[in-house]
Amino acid sequence: MHDGRPFQVNKVALVGQAGAGKTSLAEALLATAHTIPRKGRVEDGTTVCDFEPEELARHSSLSLAVAAFEQDGRKLNLLDTPGLADFVAEVEAALAVADVALLVVSASEGIGPHTETLWHLAGDLGLPRVVFVNKLDHERADYEGVLAQLRGRLGATLAPLELPLDAGPGFSGIADLLAEQALSYDGDGAGHAGPIPPALADTEHRVHEELVEGIVADDDDLVERYLDGVAPSLAELAATLSSSVAAGRVVPVLCGSATKDIGIDRLAGFLAGLAWHHHRVHVRAGDVELELEPSGDGQPLARVFKTVVDPFIGRISLLEVLSGTIHPDEQLVNARTHTEERLHVLESLLGKRAAPVTEAVAGDVVAVPKLHDVRVGDTLAPRGSPVVADPIRISEPTASIAIKARTTGDEDKLMTALQRLLEEDPGLRVARVEETHQVVLSGMGELHLQVALERLASKLHVATDVEELRVPYRQTISMPSAAEGRHKKQTGGHGQFGVVHLRLEPLERGAGFVFEDAVVGGAIPRQFLPAVEKGVRRAMAQGGELGFPVVDVKVVVDDGKSHPVDSSEASFEQAGALAFNEALQRAEPCALEPISRVEVQAPSSCLGDVLGDLNGRRGRVLHSGGDERGDQQVVALVPTSELTRYGIDLRALSAGRARFQATHDHYEPVPARLLERTRT
């Protein structure tokens, strides 16, 4: 499908721990490309990529932002992502469409726990990774220490391309290890070449030789010539390095200061000069599965990777173009809904600012406002096309709260507003739990949920209150029983009369409910039996004295009485409920609690703490063992009531290095000593 021409559009995901300076780096790259003014970018609290009120209030990125710039004839779409662990879903969406992950590390803070998570997320997707060591102008900047951390904790095959000159408050330049020259910066954002300072010359030359040997080792022809004493040219080294980086075999390291504009021009040029390969997307065409690399000569094909809800414009969909070229007013079909969507306007993004464009080519990112019904992960293709891209995989939430509308007037608007919130934030989930009569909002952590509620109030004008999250307990019976329900009421006209005799029998866990008609001789007319079942189901839902829904029970109706005039469906519904409630008390009911299957991935160093914590939560460990990264994986069954704060507690006891997923597994009887707690 490829026409032989190099692609000119790519996507760079900026990822890193909170405080590493990703947004400042995005600003500096945009300024270097003269996309925005160089002065007054971050100092006054305004940035291109952070513009939501919640971001401005916290001085931190909370959502994915896109900002495009041109460098050396190539368009680069920066995908600036949050560094807080609670907002990892935004990072996952960015990495799913990016062509390279640019990992930003603070020279003064080093590698934090979340950095490791982000590193592995990019690696699992097969993305090339580039490291930029930022903040070398800070007091505690330690470039060599960061390199040691990268090698020791991430196991990276590093290729440092630069060394800082005088890291710390006096930082003013870098050493180019390939060209063996110093670059000094005087505030205009451009490096001025000069000789390597004598104090650094020996170290620079040694590291240069190590770098050259590492580069040539990835090319057989260069190795042979190098061993024969022929030094490769600078152009040959750059080309080989670029190919090795694109293939993911080498991770280059560049350095500088985003706020002082040191090394930013070098980073921009390096990114523009990479031997880019677009990320491959798994697609299905009927029963055939294949990998699709974006191509400019195919049919127009796009995938939605982000939705933004603007209070004035409405829904804005961010699309990655997978194939062909898309033009304004293009009509494509949503593979999920099979409905046609007209892309009236195409826009290139610079944070919250949008500029119309006349086309979007394969590999590009484009914003399209006011599409009718699209979600994150939807594929847009020409009518009749069988191609569907895989959905974007987002981690499951790890924290939940129960919410309710603050005012009666907002009750009807709550669910609609929550659905709009979910369109914008792929890391959120909403469920209405019928057993507890609660609306449950789930997210990646406390801060994530707090921000969601703030946006619900500020953008969608629905104020909410948080209430205690109730666990959906159930109950079942321990032994067979039988009872009669008699409903008799006489009024001035027709009375009410119905008598039902039934038996209860326990079923296996998970079997549900069985209703059996064993009435003989017409004791209960056939037309009233559905009413009896309705009454039984109502009583099961109400749960008698314990108040929990009844499950795993067989109800056999075997006798009863009727009256030719006074019997009715309402009479037998009530009689059925009375009979069930009486039989339930005789059957020794027991409460059941939900049990979750919990899968934890944690470093070996905190395995003991993880196991001890799970034991304290009444957990039963099913399996534990190491994985290919050297981490430990633990699988356990844990009562769901013990997991309400597990994500927060696990992050604390593992210093943020452990992750988990919990899914409902089954129900078990509540221990007698804890039964009273289920009623509070």
Instruction: Please say which residue of 345, 363, 389 terminates a domain.
Output: 389
Determine, yes or no, domain membership for 163: yes
CATH code of residue 515: 3.30.230.10
Given pLDDT bands bounded at 50, 70 and 90, which one contains residue 460? confident
Task: Say whether both 222 and 80 belong to one domain.
Answer: yes
Instruction: Please say which residue of 326, 360, 389 terminates a domain.
Output: 389
Determine, yes or no, domain membership for 394: no
CATH code of residue 307: 2.40.30.10
Give 470's DSSP letter. Answer: P
pLDDT in tens, 294-332: 777 788 999 999 998 877 788 899 999 999 999 999 999
Average pLDDT of the residues in 209-217: 90
Closest CA to 600 of 611, 616, 591: 611
Q: Give φ, ψ of 133 to 5 degrees.
A: -90, 110
Determine, yes or no, domain membership for 138: yes
What proportion of the chain, given as a percentage, has pLDDT over 90? 65
Task: Say whether both 317 and 349 belong to one domain.
Answer: yes
Given pLDDT bands bounded at 50, 70 and 90, which one contains residue 80? very high
Task: Say whether both 44 and 147 belong to one domain.
Answer: yes
Determine, yes or no, domain membership for 261: yes
Instruction: Please say which residue of 555, 587, 619 terminates a domain.
Output: 587
Task: Say whether both 126 and 239 belong to one domain.
Answer: yes
For the chain, how many structural domains are there in total?
Answer: 5
Mean predicted lDDT score pLDDT of the chain: 90
Determine, yes or no, domain membership for 208: yes
Q: Name 61's bridge partners.
A: none
Task: Say whether both 157 and 63 belong to one domain.
Answer: yes
Question: Is residue 41 pLDDT above 60, yes or no?
Answer: no
Task: Say whether both 498 and 554 belong to one domain.
Answer: yes
Task: Say whether both 632 and 577 belong to one domain.
Answer: no
Task: Say whether both 234 and 376 belong to one domain.
Answer: no
Given pLDDT bands bounded at 50, 70 and 90, which one contains residue 492? low
pLDDT in tens, 383-400: 988 889 988 999 889 899
DSSP E strands in 245-324: the ranges are: 251-255, 281-285, 288-292, 301-310, 314-323
Q: pLDDT value at position 186? A: 87
Q: Mean pLDDT lowest for which of 35-44, 200-209, 314-323, 467-476?
A: 35-44
Determine, yes or no, domain membership for 162: yes
Task: Say whether both 99 and 236 belong to one domain.
Answer: yes
**Do 183 and 192 contact (CB within 8 A), yes or no?**
yes
pLDDT in tens, 335-353: 999 999 999 999 999 998 9
Determine, yes or no, domain membership for 302: yes
Domain of 554, in residue numbers: 475-587
Average pLDDT of the residues in 214-225: 88
Task: Say whether both 604 and 582 belong to one domain.
Answer: no
Q: Mean pLDDT lowest for which of 34-48, 204-218, 517-531?
A: 34-48
Task: Say whether both 550 and 417 belong to one domain.
Answer: no
CA–CA gap between residue 281 and residue 210 (Å, rounded): 36
Task: Say whether both 447 and 344 belong to one domain.
Answer: no
Q: pLDDT value at position 7? A: 45
Q: Give φ, ψ of 595 to 5 degrees.
A: -115, 130
Determine, yes or no, domain membership for 3: no
Average pLDDT of the residues in 42-69: 82
